[in-house]
Amino acid sequence: MRIADFPVPTTPAARGALELAQQYQSTAMTSHALRSWLWAEAFARVDGVSEIDHELLYVAAVLHDIGTVTEFDNHTISYEHAGGHVGVALTAGAGWDEARRTRVLEVIVRHNWPRVDSAMDAEGYLLEIATGLDISGARPDAVPESFRREVLTAYPRGALAAEFGACVIEQAARKPETAARRLLDGGIITKLAENPLERLM
């Protein structure tokens, strides 16, 4: 398994998602988004998940934390809902129909669910377990170590633990009814620091 096995979509929506992420997010957060996409594609192969909308998965992965940045933060809804609506707006401009635009919102929102049923939402399942690996260190050995090292070399973790940890603390304080509070109460700060991916760098 190599990065080259997973071609980056070259559609307007995919290019726009990456440009938004790079313009508004830090390098560490954008690298997290791109690693999450690669982990999701790898888990699809490992878990035998087929019939995937690869463009949708890429756009959702790249934008899944865009709702944490000041320009897109929303004081009344969770950062994953805010980011999902950014995805809806982007893909509307790219010509996606309403049903597919709604899927971007669903996948981004569901990445923060405790668990997603792959039979209900393949892309949501893949992004949830992918971000689970990159943030909490879940299922690290399911993906070959050589691939993990290649991905971490291409997209280093940098200050992700500090940046994302601070973001979750801030979101949980302002919006205690959202998933950020559950993540914080679930020990995400410790999980970020102890993520086995940190030791592969």
Q: List the pLDDT tens digit at each of the 201 positions of the chain.
A: 999 999 999 999 999 999 999 999 999 999 999 999 999 999 999 999 988 999 999 999 999 999 999 999 998 999 999 999 999 999 999 999 999 999 999 999 999 899 999 999 999 999 999 999 999 999 999 999 999 999 999 999 999 999 999 999 999 999 999 999 999 999 989 999 889 999 886
For the structural domain made of 8-200, what CATH number should be given? 1.10.3210
Rg of the chain in Å (alpha carbons): 15
Count how many Cα atoms sit within 13 Å of the Cα of residue 75 in the half-sphere of its side chain. 0
| Residue partners of 30: CB distance under 8 A and separation at least 6 | 21, 22, 62
Q: Which of 43, 32, 15, 101 is nearest to 68 (CA)?
A: 32
Residue ranges per domain, the chain? 8-200
CA–CA dist 137, 194 (Å, integer): 8
